[in-house]
Amino acid sequence: MKVGMMSAKLKTLINAAQKLSPRERIDLISAVSLTLQHTFADQEEAAFWESKTPKEHIQLQNVSAVVDIAELRADFWPQEEKTDDLIAYLSNQRAVDRP
């Protein structure tokens, strides 16, 4: 940013900062950086809780509809394992986990 484009308040702050020791300048930069991090974190958290329509979510997340169901096929499942065995295992685990 050019010095001529700065506000008078910012110019005054920069002039004051130039009179600081190098250590104080580093501390000032750290403090300003931390303040900015908190400000943006608060804004991001607030934005998270804002209600959005499904269309807005789609635009924000850049997702597209599945056109071909084959795209969802998982090829990591071992062929020797039967689906019925998995369902039986899950059913058994749920029964064990119930109080």
pLDDT of residue 21: 94
Q: What is the mean pLDDT of residues 70-87?
A: 85
Are 14 and 6 a contacting pair, CB within 8 Å? yes
- Predicted TM-score (pTM) of this structure: 0.39
Q: Each residue of 22-38: pLDDT tens digit?
A: 999 999 999 999 888 88
Mean pLDDT calculated for residue range 41-63: 83
Q: Is 57 exposed, middle or buried (0-12, 13-18, 19+ CB in 10 A)?
A: exposed
User: pLDDT, tens digit, for every residue of 63-72?
Assistant: 888 899 988 8
Pick the residue with more confidence: 47 or 88? 88
